[in-house]
Structure 1
Amino acid sequence: MRRSGQAAAGGVPAVFLAAVLAAFSAAGGQQRITEDFCSTSPGAEEQTGGLSENLDFIQPDTLLYGRPGADFGKGSTAVFATDFSQAKVNAPLPETFSWAACGKKPTVRNQGSLGTCWALTAAEAVESALLPQTRLVLSADHISLQNGFDIAQDEGGDYSMIMSYMADFKGPVTEEEDPYGDGSSPQGLKAAVHVGEMRLLEGMSADRIRHMIYRFGAVQTSLSMDRTRTDQGRSFYYNEKTCSYYDPVTELLNHDVLVLGWDDTYSKKHFRVQPAHDGAWICQNSWGAGFGRDGIFYVSYEDANLFRKGGIAYTDVRTADDADHVLETDSLGWQARQGYGCESAWFAGVFETDSPQMLEAAGLYAVGPATTWRMVLVENFQGPDSLSEAADGKNGILLGCGWIENPGFYTLRLRWPLSLPAGKRFAVVVFVDTPGTGRPVAVETRKDRYTDTVSLDGRESYISRDGASWERTQTAYRTNACLKLYTSDT
């Protein structure tokens, strides 16, 4: 299993409610798929029984990669406040652009001997999103040590860990609270900011990635790079004089960097091994200010590995006062896809609060592009029959529906909070439709030694092919459907 940083070697589409509801109504009548998941998936040999029938594991190297109105019921109207559409891909872009020139270059850090490039780069991406108005230095130690996974700092990490950590509001915390490299991380620290949206760049063209950077800010991605490859005496790939890097060979992805922009005019003659054309991505490394020009170096557009498995963009960073609590059916986030061999499915999570709270938002993973979603709250959960009634439109509060362009994690924010009484069990029912996948539901499962901390105890989630017949995921498949609710004290 590869983890990035291991061993430290190195046009807004229209969203129409009618289209959403049409997809929603077409969910029924599908049959369960019975083929096994990919035998090369990590931990596949450990799984038995029904789990393999409708589950695809997410490989770590795969992860390294309008707002419709809704009838809220009970005399009011609600819509989610977030627009998940992407930048128009036909908009003209400048030949050269860098967020570093706009006051959004984060502090350059040095990972030293630890395999924390992934955590440092994630921290820097969030820092860049806050600049220039707010300057924070965020803790990579906390990201790498308090993410909930059973993994040491010298083993690297992957994007599923980052998304889970951020979505749970475990952090990020400041570097001052949790200094880097001391081998310890305090318990009980509160997030300095909340990251509510993380878009995966998997499958995007270079032009679309440029638009993502131009609209949303610096992005995190992986390449094949270590210190032996950048040593002037031994490297065929790095030119120390021009701070340029070009690897023409497809190799293991083992290092993460922050991409701040691009330069179409950057001469191919600057590279030690010349690519066919000019042009380079402007990147920031985690090897200290002594590398490149204050941490900045240039990677050829033709590098065989940069963006090969996509990347991640942090596109909704805000102050940490938007919610007080996280109610969830999962703790380690999206580890596998589950479904019935068709593009749509239903899932639900059951929750209970121990004090009166206000529902502010919900957190949802989209496992692929162009995901349609619909969400209903069941105020008084009485078992699977109440889920069926909500799916059929006979019961429940319609929270909203919409369309998500890119895979990743999204916070669906309510314009008007909902009151949740203490001690009363309720459920949230979700319909998802993701073209091109037979398993559209993100689930958490124990799939390898890194996810040994996954627990089914105290969790209650359900999955359905048609919204009529429901299976409890914990007993049928040993999985937790991924769903989060963000609440505030009344």
Structure 2
Amino acid sequence: MKKTIRKIYLCFIITILFTTGIALGNDTNLENKEYTEIYKQWLELSDEQKENVIEPSKYNFYSKDTKEEIQLANQKMNLKSLVKMAKSSTYATSPKFSLKTLIDNNLEIKDQKSTNFCWAFASISSLETNLALKNYNDNKDDKIYDYSERHMVYSMTQSFKDGQVNTNGWKQKAKDGGTTTMSMAYLTNGSGAINEEDMKFVDNQEEIDINDIKNKQVQTTVKDIRNFNSIYITKNDGAIDANKNKIKDSEIENLKEQIKEHISTSGSVKASIYMPNFDKNVHINLKSGAIYNLIDSYEDIKKEMTKKDGVYVNHAVSIIGWDDNYSKDNFSTKPTNNGAWIIRNSYGKAIEISMEQLRKNNPGLEDEEIVNTFSASMNCNCTLSEDGQILNVSVGDNGIFYISYEDAYIYSDLLGIENAEDKKDYDNLYQYDNLGGGEVGYIKGNDVKDIFLANVFTRTKTDTEYLTSIGFQSLVEGTYEVYINPDGTDKSLSNLQKAELTTGEEISLTAGYHTINFKKAYKLKENNFVVAIKMKHKDGGISYFTYEAKEENPDIVLSKAKESFVVREEQAQKDSQWLDIGDSSSSSYLGNLCIKGITVNQYSGSIANEEEKEDSKTDNNNSNYDKAKAELQEIKLEGNNQGSSVNIKIKVTGIEVKNSSEKYQHYFYLSSNSKENNIQEDKWIPAGKFEKQDDGTYALTLEVTEESQLADIKEDGSVYVYIKEVATLNGKSTTVISNGIELKLYSSEIETKKEEDTTTITSNKTKNDTTVANKVLPNTGYIPVIIFLIISFAIVGMFVYIRYKNIDK
């Protein structure tokens, strides 16, 4: 009898292990994603060769069609982002658009002179135009932004005068140029941007004193940066990625649409191109400023990289608009079709060419003959400097260039800033990825589904602070959940609290850097806290994660043990199962994860790890808004690339009226703050009809008629409606201001309609299917799931019993 019981008990234990997938040990294998073939080719170049080309993208990743992006997950939408979406739909279909028509004062042509700072000029342009365009849309006073490119360059380099070393810089010098990863790192690690006047541009890229970059006042907060797909265009191989994989024509059109949408709503896009030599007119028409680089094949791209004067990416510029009808006849070498991107360059309004070099190229000619010959051969306007040493060549439209839609490299390395503030809006930034995330890893295995990433932070202060958001960089798009342990280092799931985000329980993000906001902040009082991210597995996909690698600064090991961790979901229950990828002595060593903790010292909103106290109620003649709900009815945007007008209709329902008054006056205010205390009188907007509904409650109609009325709404969080009601009875008036009523709107409820110059977004609410299991198992109702488990348990149990019934014999 005892033997039989022992057999049954053993069979039960083994069955449990089979059916629940509990790991008996951590056999997780970590791998790095393989570099692209073009990047491998770049690695083989000498240091001298690398000085003449821009580092290509290491990896190939693909984003979804722009029209599908909003459907990555059924997440909450922000009212301001919907207006932005309506604008993009209006502008992107226009055949011509330029930011100069909207924010010309912030598009002054700058001049990098003889430096290799083009990457910084193009990156800072994205920031400046993003902020200027936001002011334009909010109808704020015109403000000219001018941030220091020089500070960006030196803050991200390691080498300084007298052997001084910047431990938060890459192993290179200022003259070596920079990359997209370096741009993103600088703008998100708390180093900048700073005002131009605090570190002015100098036409010099030699080593400087390290103190010149320290103790500067940071002026901005960059919250969201977008990486676009990397594509090359060739004559014979067509559109390809960096591994020669074919790219469909529809994907090129989708990418062009994404770029147009970004420019019209978020500002300029940083792009890497081949800038032709000005003493040759094969690839550039100096008079029109039109550039078109034609490369025959994928193999030719790799070959051009190795040549001394090869036609390969060597310059960064800003795309500020487009012209679908820009004539192909404007190019020296004609592309197949019309159409070009409008480019803000950083070479000044005229190009300076050394007469010494021209004299060497034209021996025996007088200077006047050289100027005339050059002007005629290059089809450009030229003037000689007073000292006769510089030939000033006017290019394009006072520094504005045009690049063909069909250029070989225009889509090879694109970056855009989606959301930024012209102030530092946090107090403390916890991070381990100061250099940015340049490497990608993954957990190897066909059975790997969702994975968790975590950073354990040690607080730098003893006073209480509040974790309001996190920063996260990923080189892939995906859907994520966030978990927090505000009181220690334990990462086991039982000690992690799932954070409620402003977008709901999860968030879908494009490739790049993003700020993820919490609906309720976490109060931090202990020495340590944990920020964990769950990467939700896509069918047929791999959960790639981004990290800062030692290779980015090989002389300085920045990562330490007990900082960054990775684990499969099924092993996340135990803290000991998480792999320490920041421990350089460990076999799982990679580097630090790109997860940041963003905190403030003072916070008046709701706290996630504390019980909320209910507000005290007072009795008067006013309505009760405790059960009120706010719903979007319609967003209508009319206009074209010269400007637009917006009209938004919102309905607040569920208002309870106990004692009817003789007269009601209603006003409303829209905010991103869930607990507004002192709303300025001039911020209140008159409301519309106040009508009784069939169920006895009342509804209030709200209408936004100017975009400036959305000025106090952020682009990346919840929106709250505040109602001020003045009720009059028997000549006596009483006033009540409601608590914030959240305007809830989900991506699955959005319908967009475009007619000529009008874009309309409406809400089409549908009921969720409550019979669907939302766990790891297939999408079936709960009852079928239970039946599935019982049958599986029985089958496995029978198999185990048959296998082990003779265990004592």
- TM-score scaled by structure 2? 0.49
**How much does 1:208 deviate?**
2.5
Alignment-derived partner of residue 218 in structure 1: 268
Alignment of 1:49-198 (within 5 A): 60-62=56-58, 87=85, 93-104=93-104, 105-131=106-132, 133-147=142-156, 148-181=169-202, 183=206, 184=208, 185-198=212-225
Post-superposition CA distance 1:71-117 (Å, at most 9, x none): xxxxxxxx999969995897661100011111254232211222110
Alignment-derived partner of residue 51 in structure 1: none
CA distance in 1, matches of 2:115, 2:488: 47
Q: Evaluate the alpha carbon distance shift between residue 143 and residue 235 of structure 1 in structure 2; reply closer, same or farther with a 3 A threshold.
A: same
Alignment-derived partner of residue 407 in structure 2: 303
Q: Evaluate the alpha carbon distance shift between residue 173 and residue 378 of structure 1 in structure 2; reply closer, same or farther with a 3 A threshold.
A: same
Alignment of 1:308-323 (within 5 A): 309-323=412-426
How many percent identity over aligned positions?
A: 21
CA distance in 2, matches of 1:81, 1:375: 23
**Residue 581 of structure 2 is aligned to residue 480 of structure 1:** no
SS in 1 for 2:145: coil
- TM-score scaled by structure 1? 0.79
Greater relative contact order, per chain length (Cα 8 Å cut-off, separation 6+): 1
Alignment-derived partner of residue 452 in structure 2: 346
CA distance in 1, matches of 2:30, 2:221: 40
Tell me whether 177-186 or 215-224 shows the greater mean CA deviation. Answer: 177-186
Alignment of 1:7-26 (within 5 A): none
Q: Which has the higher helix share?
A: 2
**How much does 1:452 deviate?**
3.8
CA distance in 1, matches of 2:429, 2:41: 29
**Residue 211 of structure 2 is aligned to residue 202 of structure 1:** no
Post-superposition CA distance 1:99-157 (Å, at most 9, x none): 11112542322112221100011111111112253212111111111022222121111
Post-superposition CA distance 1:300-325 (Å, at most 9, x none): 11111111x24011011103241011
Q: Structure 2 unaligned runs (5+)?
A: 1-19, 44-54, 62-69, 137-141, 157-168, 231-253, 296-300, 302-310, 351-394, 603-809
CA distance in 1, matches of 2:413, 2:255: 9
The answer (yes or no) to whether the contact 1:84–1:404 under 8 Å persists in 2 is no
Post-superposition CA distance 1:183-212 (Å, at most 9, x none): 543312122111111100115622222222
**Residue 289 of structure 2 is aligned to residue 243 of structure 1:** yes
Q: Evaluate the alpha carbon distance shift between residue 151 and residue 444 of structure 1 in structure 2; reply closer, same or farther with a 3 A threshold.
A: same
Residue type of the partner of 1:479? G
Q: Evaluate the alpha carbon distance shift between residue 245 and residue 162 of structure 1 in structure 2; reply closer, same or farther with a 3 A threshold.
A: same
The answer (yes or no) to whether the contact 2:129–2:266 under 8 Å persists in 1 is no
**How much does 1:413 deviate?**
2.2
Alignment-derived partner of residue 364 in structure 1: 472
Residue type of the partner of 1:293? D
Post-superposition CA distance 1:217-249 (Å, at most 9, x none): 2111111114x2xx1x42201111212111112
The answer (yes or no) to whether the contact 1:337–1:441 under 8 Å persists in 2 is yes
**How much does 1:180 deviate?**
1.3
CA distance in 1, matches of 2:473, 2:189: 13
**How much does 1:278 deviate?**
0.7
**How much does 1:293 deviate?**
1.8
The answer (yes or no) to whether the contact 1:433–1:440 under 8 Å persists in 2 is no
The answer (yes or no) to whether the contact 2:32–2:442 under 8 Å persists in 1 is no
**How much does 1:35 deviate?**
6.4
CA distance in 2, matches of 1:62, 1:387: 34
**How much does 1:457 deviate?**
3.5
Q: Evaluate the alpha carbon distance shift between residue 237 and residue 405 of structure 1 in structure 2; reply closer, same or farther with a 3 A threshold.
A: same
Residue type of the partner of 1:396? Q
1:396 to 488, 497, 501: 497
**How much does 1:405 deviate?**
4.2
Residue type of the partner of 1:201? F
Post-superposition CA distance 1:404-440 (Å, at most 9, x none): 342000011234433211x421211110136475352
Q: Evaluate the alpha carbon distance shift between residue 100 and residue 458 of structure 1 in structure 2; reply closer, same or farther with a 3 A threshold.
A: farther
CA distance in 2, matches of 1:98, 1:489: 41
Q: Evaluate the alpha carbon distance shift between residue 255 and residue 69 of structure 1 in structure 2; reply closer, same or farther with a 3 A threshold.
A: closer
Q: Evaluate the alpha carbon distance shift between residue 32 and residue 396 of structure 1 in structure 2; reply closer, same or farther with a 3 A threshold.
A: same
SS in 1 for 2:480: strand
Q: Evaluate the alpha carbon distance shift between residue 27 and residue 186 of structure 1 in structure 2; reply closer, same or farther with a 3 A threshold.
A: farther
Tell me whether 175-184 or 479-488 shows the greater mean CA deviation. Answer: 175-184
2:486 to 379, 384, 390: 379
Alignment-derived partner of residue 361 in structure 2: none
SS in 2 for 1:103: helix
Q: Evaluate the alpha carbon distance shift between residue 99 and residue 214 of structure 1 in structure 2; reply closer, same or farther with a 3 A threshold.
A: same
The answer (yes or no) to whether the contact 2:349–2:398 under 8 Å persists in 1 is yes
Post-superposition CA distance 1:248-267 (Å, at most 9, x none): 12542221110001001111
SS in 2 for 1:303: coil
Q: Evaluate the alpha carbon distance shift between residue 174 and residue 434 of structure 1 in structure 2; reply closer, same or farther with a 3 A threshold.
A: farther
